[in-house]
Amino acid sequence: MDFSIRFSGHETFALRYGWLNKAYKFLNYNEKNEESLVVDLGVGKNMVNSIKYWAEITGLKPLNDTSVKQRYFSDVTQIIEHFDPYLEKPESNWLLHYFIQKNYAELTFARWYFNFSNSQYFTKENLLNELSDWLLTENQKIPATATLQKDFDCFILCYAKKSNKKFKGEDSFVSPLNELKLIYDAGNSYAADFSEHKDIKSGVFLYCLVDFWKTYFPDSSTISVDSILSMPGSPGRLFRFNNFGIDSYLNQCANLDKRFYWSDSKGIRSLACDDIRQVNLDSLLKNIYSEMN
């Protein structure tokens, strides 16, 4: 497949609480006066570009976005508009992670890791080498080492939970993505195992599953467990489920919504839905937040 490369632009700032709400309300891509953007967004000059980056990476569409540039958009805008303006709820954090990482055609370090790497224990050097080798096999240009290092650092700032409970400071909880506990920082190395992740609500998983299904298999009445578990862009891979976790969540989906049921044809275990095109993502999203009230 054709990839575009985006290993820079964040200025090594992890996504922070409140940034997307600010970007939704005040970010104006047509504003050329940097001082105006600093005032509107309430951050320093060095963070303005980072907020623009995260707005684009998450698929957010700001109110002032009148540009003709074709960008990636996601339902994070709808969540901010209707359900969780400041993205404070755990469900929003899982969905935010999904929205960021599913767009793997435009590669960042994090998107490559969640979609293509199976490494569960790694060091910075290990993962930099693995990414470089992968880019080489995909006939992609390998960026400068310093660029990849900075993107790795941003990826870790976003996701890696400190295993040392005594650790304090701004960087210990700098990003909402840190709450997901997908990666643990053990000091000189990192751990990100495939597990059951029982703290994901079944409605969130179902929404992501349907979005994935409609994107890659819109004409199919079944989808294999293996595709849900391991295919790039799938909820199983992005949430780093193991086999037990996938089985558990697919059972929950079948119990939650009777349009989904198990199918076992020719020895291939699959989830079935008579017409996936008729399953409305907006309704599934609304159900996630209505169940919380």
What are the residues facing 121 on neighbouring strands? 191
- Tokens found for residue 134: 């992968």
Burial of 187 (0-12, 13-18, 19+ CB in 10 A): exposed
Work out whether strand 222-224 and strand 190-191 pair parallel, antiparallel, or are unpaired. Answer: unpaired
- Tokens found for residue 235: 């909820």
Q: How many CB atoms lie within 10 A of CB 101?
A: 22
Please tell me whether residues 76 and 216 are part of one structural domain. Answer: no
Location of structure tokens 């000091």: 187
- Tokens found for residue 212: 């994935």
CA dist 110 and 9 (Å) reads 14
Location of structure tokens 């994935």: 212
Residue closest to 41 by CA, chosen among 151, 95, 153, 29? 29
Is the distance from CB of 234 to CB of 246 less than 8 angstroms? no
Please tell me whether residues 57 and 142 are part of one structural domain. Answer: yes
Chain-centre distance of CA 57, in angstroms? 9
Please tell me whether residues 182 and 278 are part of one structural domain. Answer: no
Which residue, 191, 226, 245, sits at the end of a domain?
A: 191
Please tell me whether residues 125 and 14 are part of one structural domain. Answer: yes
- Tokens found for residue 157: 């700032």
Q: Check residue 241 and report its DSSP letter.
A: B
Please tell me whether residues 88 and 166 are part of one structural domain. Answer: yes
Helices 145-159 and 109-116 cross at an angle (nearest 10°) of 70
Q: Is residue 196 part of a domain?
A: no
**Max Cα–Cα distance, the chain, nearest Å:** 63
Is the distance from CB of 293 to CB of 235 less than 8 angstroms? no
Please tell me whether residues 136 and 57 are part of one structural domain. Answer: yes
- Report the share of the chain in percent with pLDDT over 90: 79
Q: Is residue 197 part of a domain?
A: no
The backbone torsions φ and ψ at residue 32, rounded to the nearest 5 degrees and listed phi first, read -95, -15
Please tell me whether residues 254 and 111 are part of one structural domain. Answer: no
Global pTM reads 0.94
Distances (CA, A) of 161 to 116, 168, 223, 263: 21, 12, 33, 38
Quick: pLDDT tens for 53-94: 999 999 999 998 877 678 899 999 999 999 999 999 999 999
Count of domains in the chain?
A: 2
Is the distance from CB of 235 to CB of 95 less than 8 angstroms? no
pLDDT band for 293, please (50, 70, 90 cuts). low
Q: Which domain holds residue 117?
A: 4-191
Give residue 37's pLDDT: 83
Q: What is the CATH number of the domain that holds 237?
A: 1.10.10
Please tell me whether residues 232 and 122 are part of one structural domain. Answer: no
Give residue 234's pLDDT: 98
- Tokens found for residue 231: 């295919």
Burial of 274 (0-12, 13-18, 19+ CB in 10 A): exposed
Please tell me whether residues 41 and 168 are part of one structural domain. Answer: yes
Please tell me whether residues 183 and 235 are part of one structural domain. Answer: no
Quick: pLDDT tens for 236-274: 999 999 999 999 999 999 999 999 999 887 677 899 999
Residue 170 has pLDDT above 60, yes or no: no
pLDDT band for 35, please (50, 70, 90 cuts). confident
Q: Taking all residues of the chain, what is their mean pLDDT, rounded to a whole number?
A: 92
Residues 6+ apart with CB under 8 A from 290: none
Quick: pLDDT tens for 269-288: 899 999 999 999 999 999 99
> What is the identity of the amino acid at 87?
L
Quick: pLDDT tens for 130-166: 999 999 999 999 999 999 999 999 999 999 987 655 4
Q: What is the mean pLDDT of residues 115-131?
A: 97
Quick: pLDDT tens for 212-222: 999 999 999 99
Give residue 167's pLDDT: 46
Q: Is residue 123 part of a domain?
A: yes
> What is the identity of the amino acid at 160?
A
Please tell me which residue, 156 or 1, carries the higher pLDDT value.
156
Give residue 292's pLDDT: 63
Please tell me which residue, 177 or 264, carries the higher pLDDT value.
177
